[in-house]
Amino acid sequence: MKASNVTVLMDEITDLSPVERRAEGQSGGTYEYDYLLLAAGVQTSFFGRPEWEAHTLGLKTLAEAQSIRRRVLSNLEKAELTNCDKDRRRLMTVAIAGGGPTGVELAGAFTDLVHRSLRDDFRRIDTSKLRVVLLEGSDRLLGSFGKKQSEYAFKRLEELGVEILTGTMVADVTKGCVHLADGSTVEAAAIIWAAGTEANPLTSQLGVPLADRAGRVTPEEDLSIRGFPEIFVGGDLACLTDSQDKPVPGVAPAATQMGRHVAKVLKEENRLEKTRFRGQKLKLRPRFRYFDKGIMAIVGKNAAVVLSGKWALTGFIAWLAWLFIHILFLVGFRNKLSVLLGWAFAYVRDAPDTRIIVNRPD
């Protein structure tokens, strides 16, 4: 670590006491602070139906991503074993609730998986028959993008064989079955929940009104919270708008910009504390300004959508931009190079190596 004045401790904060300026960790540790930046992110939200969690797979962490891969690959292995057509159909169906970037990217990735990576791996089942059903409650996919880009993603996924149901609200989820508001059902041995997020529950311990049902917090212009100038919120759990009054999206560039902003404020106040300007710190705090670099989503191989300022790209150019940006922001030269070479090799071979079932199958 380059910054010698930074200490990293692996502990989960369980309690916050804003008035006492103290945080308690699961390890039993107590952390007294002069300043606090709460940036604990978001988690999957089931819109008040926590029982759905037992029947679905979320995608917020690497461990969850591995669970999805494990479940889908194990289901294909089970489908190869069974002699029952009905079971095989259920085992070879993946339902994805939520047609935002996560749902769209996943749906595209599954079609790549079965058409390319796994195409020669099974003898009794035809993996290209994997049924991917994408369910979206609103009338279009990728609601945060432009209409043309939504239409492009819809068309592209349809070409890849994804079944897309828009304007379709999920009414219930039971084991292996999604029940839709129109009374129909989708039987699927893998149900992925990409339909909603909510802020880390620590926001409810800040003692300030929450901005929305997702439990996010609207900070002051400098990212501190009202009544507690020493507490800042940042990243996905902050609810704020940019200079054009558009919501700041829950993306990595927004989180890093907020982190940098808070670091600047702290550095400046630390400097002032040591000078005769002590006490003037609040007046001097700059306002956080979000610089919108844009949003992007990949839609299977060779296709993506990018929305950046006046640029609204779709197709291969957008896909190249997606690859370039995602490699650019990887940490460390070694990672960048190995991912670049891995992707280039997979692209040329047209068959990424992904058939790994980690841990025991479900």
Q: Cα separation of 159 and 112, whole Å?
A: 12
143 or 253, CB closer to ligand FAD? Answer: 253
Quick check: 307 binds ligand FAD (CB under 6 A)? no
Quick check: 203 binds ligand FAD (CB under 6 A)? no
Quick check: 236 binds ligand FAD (CB under 6 A)? yes
Residue of 32, 77, 80, 105 with catalytic role:
105
List the one residue from 36, 40, 68, 191 that touches ligand FAD (CB under 6 A): 40
Quick check: 161 binds ligand FAD (CB under 6 A)? no
- In the annotation, is 269 catalytic? no
The minimum distance between CB 271 and ligand FAD, in angstroms, equals: 26
List the one residue from 24, 31, 35, 41 that touches ligand FAD (CB under 6 A): 41
Count of residues engaged in binding ligand FAD, rule: CB under 6 A: 17
125 or 132, CB closer to ligand FAD? Answer: 132
Q: Cα separation of 236 and 215, whole Å?
A: 11
List the one residue from 113, 135, 206, 255 that touches ligand FAD (CB under 6 A): 255
Residue type, 134: L
List the one residue from 229, 253, 294, 315 that touches ligand FAD (CB under 6 A): 253
The minimum distance between CB 71 and ligand FAD, in angstroms, equals: 16
101 or 137, CB closer to ligand FAD? Answer: 101
List the one residue from 39, 323, 339, 351 that touches ligand FAD (CB under 6 A): 39
Dig out the tokens for 205 from the structure. Answer: 């311990």
Dig out the tokens for 32 from the structure. Answer: 């007294």
Quick check: 202 binds ligand FAD (CB under 6 A)? yes
Site string for ligand FAD, 5-24 (x = CB under 6 A): -------xx-----------
Site string for ligand FAD, 108-127 (x = CB under 6 A): --------------------
24 or 222, CB closer to ligand FAD? Answer: 24
Looking at beta carbons, which residue is closest to ligand FAD?
Answer: 235
The minimum distance between CB 65 and ligand FAD, in angstroms, equals: 7
Residue type, 294: G
98 or 127, CB closer to ligand FAD? Answer: 98
3-state secondary structure the chain: CCCCCCCCCCCCEEEEECCCCEEEECCCCEEECCCEEECCCEEECCCCCHHHHHHCECCCCHHHHHHHHHHHHHHHHHHHHCCCHHHHHHHCEEEEECCCHHHHHHHHHHHHHHHHHCCCCCCCCCHHHCEEEEECCCCCCCCCCCHHHHHHHHHHHHHCCCEEECCCCEEEEECCEEEECCCCEEECCEEEECCCEEECHHHHHCCCCCCCCCCCECCCCCCEECCEEEEEECHHHECCECCCCCECCCCHHHHHHHHHHHHHHHHHHHHHHCCCCCCCHHHHCCCCCCCCCCEEEECCCCCEEEEECCEEEEEHHHHHHHHHHHHHCCCCHHHHHHHHHHHHHHHHHCCCCCCCCCCCCC
Quick check: 304 binds ligand FAD (CB under 6 A)? no
Residues 6+ apart with CB under 8 A from 330: 336, 339
Q: Cα separation of 100 and 142, whole Å?
A: 5
The minimum distance between CB 251 and ligand FAD, in angstroms, equals: 3
Q: Please choose, out of 137-145, 245-253, 278-286, 299-307, the segment that lies near ligand FAD by the rule CB under 6 A.
A: 245-253
Q: Which residues are catalytic?
A: 105
Residues binding ligand FAD (CB under 6 A): 12-13, 39-41, 59-60, 102, 200, 202, 235-236, 250-253, 255
